[in-house]
Structure 1
C-alpha cells in the first residue's frame, strides 16, 4: 500500500449487488482500504482483483473496519447477515432500502448490540455512482455526530444530504421522492397511451412532454408553502372548481382513444371530493389532506 492509501479511513462493505459493486469501485478508486463480503462469494472476485480485501464471512468483514456499510436486499437480510456478529463499537451505515419504521427499529437494534447507526436512502442508480456531475446523492438520518464523523468518506461515491436525527427520515425522504416519480411515470404512461394509435411520433412527442412536466413540477413549491401556512386559497391561478369542471374532457378523450382511465380517474375522484367539501376556490393542495388516514 502507498502512504496515501494507509492514511485514508478503511471501509467494510457488505452486499455486492449492482449498487454495492458501484460503491465499492468508487472507494477503491479513491484509495480507501476496502473489505468486501457478499453472500454469493463469486461476486467479490473481480473486486478482489481490483484491490479489495475479500472477507470469507460477514463477521470477518465487520471486524476489519470501524465503518461498516450495508447494501443488502432488504431489512430482513440485514438482520440475518449480522445475526451473531460482534458489533460492539462499530459504526453501521445502512444503505439497504427499508421503510421508516424498519430503519427506526434497526437503529434501536444496533444500539442494543453496542453499535452506532446511520440510515441511508440512495437517490441514484449504479451508473451515477462515482460520477459527481450525474447529480446523485444519498439521504442520511440518525446521529448527526456520526454523519459528520464519516461525511467525507460517505461523499466519495455520491453526494450526501443529512435530513435529521430521526433514523427513519432518510427512508421516508427516499420513498416520498420515489412515490412522486412513479406518479409522474403514471401520467407519462397515460399521455403516451393517448397518442399510441395515432400517427404521432412518440420520439417527437417526448420533448414536449418532458418540458411540460418540468414546468409543472415547479408547482410543488406553492403546494409546500400552502401546506405550511394552512391557507390553500392563497395565490391560486387555476382553482379546483374550474379544474374539476374540465375532468370530463380528459375522461372522454381517453374513452375516444380507447385508453383506460385507471391511472387518472382516482386523482380526479379526490379532486371532486375536495370540491364537494367546500374547496372550490383552492388549488389542488387539499388533496394531500384527503390521503391522510
Structure 2
C-alpha cells in the first residue's frame, strides 16, 4: 500500500456533537472517505454536503469501515450505541470522555467481540481540531498495533501521543492534566478575589499573575525528580516549615480582604499534617503521598 493510499484510507465516525463534527470536518478536508452516524440525523446534513456518507444506523456505519472512531456523550452512550453490533475485525478508537476504569473495561469488552481497541483523551476544544499550530493533541492508549496502523489518519485532526498498552492510561493522563488545570484555576480565582474590592484593575494585574504562574512551572520538574528519587529534601530552597509559617499571612490577608479561604485551606491542611509528622526540612512533595494514601 502506498503512503498516499494509506493517508486516504476510509473510516467511520459515530457521534456528531461539537467535537465529533470538528473531527469529521478535519478528515473530510484531508480527503478521507468518511462514513458518519449520529442519533439525531440533522447534524449529519452539513457533513453530507461536504462529502461524508451518512449511515442510517450505527450498525451500517460500523460495517462501512475497518477503522471506527467513537465520540459520544459518555461511556453509557458507547454501550448503548454499540451493543449488538458486529465488531469482529474492527479497529475501535474511543474518543469519548471516560475514566481509566471505564476505558479498561471497554478494552476488554472490545477484545471479547473480536476488535482491537484504542482509547483516546482529547486535549483540545473543538475550534482547535484540524487547526495547524493550535497545539491540539490526543493521548492514546491500548493496542499498539492499532495505533501504529492508523497513526497517520489519527494525526490529521490533532497531534498524537501514545502513552502505553494499558487502555486506561490515556484517560488517566487526560484527567491528571485537567485536575492540575483546575487547581490553577482555583489559585487564579483566589488571587483575583483578593484584589476585587481594591482600586487595582484586573487587566493590569493579569500579566503579573500570568508571568508568576509561568515562573513557578519549573517546580513541576523538581517535584517529579523528588518523587523519582524518594528524597524530598533534594534541592529545597523554601522548606515545608517556612511555607507553613508563611501560610498564616495568606489566610490573614484573605480574612482582611473579606475573601473566603476555602480554596486554600485543603492544601494548607496537608502541609500542616506533614509538618506535624516532623518533615519540616522537606519540600511540599509529601502532599502527593498523603493524597495517594487517602485514595487507597
Normalised to the residue count of structure 1, the TM-score between the two structures is 0.97
1:147 is aligned to 147
Q: Deviations over 1:13-72 (max 9, x none)?
A: 001111110000000000000011111111111111111111111111100000000000
Q: Is the 8 A contact 1:132 1:159 kept in 2?
A: no
Q: How far off is 1:132 after superposition? A: 2.8
1:263 is aligned to 263
2:65 is aligned to 65
Q: Is the 8 A contact 2:89 2:114 kept in 1?
A: yes
Other structure's SS at 1:117 match = strand
Other structure's SS at 2:12 match = strand
In structure 2, distance between residues paired with 1:132 and 1:226: 36
Relative distance call for 1:6 and 1:277 in structure 2 (3 A) is closer
| Aligned residue runs from structure 1 range 132-171, under 5 A | 132-171=132-171
Q: How far off is 1:5 after superposition? A: 8.1
2:180 is aligned to 180
1:130 is aligned to 130
2:253 is aligned to 253
List alignment gaps of at least 5 residues for structure 1.
Answer: none
In structure 1, distance between residues paired with 2:239 and 2:6: 62
1:272 is aligned to 272
Q: Is the 8 A contact 2:24 2:34 kept in 1?
A: yes
1:40 is aligned to 40
Normalised to the residue count of structure 2, the TM-score between the two structures is 0.96
In structure 2, distance between residues paired with 1:221 and 1:5: 42
| Aligned residue runs from structure 1 range 75-90, under 5 A | 75-90=75-90
Other structure's SS at 1:135 match = coil
List alignment gaps of at least 5 residues for structure 2.
Answer: none
Residue correspondences, number: 290
Q: Deviations over 1:116-161 (max 9, x none)?
A: 1000000011111111311110000011111111100000000000
Other structure's SS at 2:133 match = helix
In structure 2, distance between residues paired with 1:286 and 1:7: 48
In structure 2, distance between residues paired with 1:281 and 1:190: 28
Q: How far off is 1:7 after superposition? A: 6.9
Other structure's SS at 1:13 match = strand
1:241 is aligned to 241
In structure 2, distance between residues paired with 1:39 and 1:77: 10
1:106 is aligned to 106
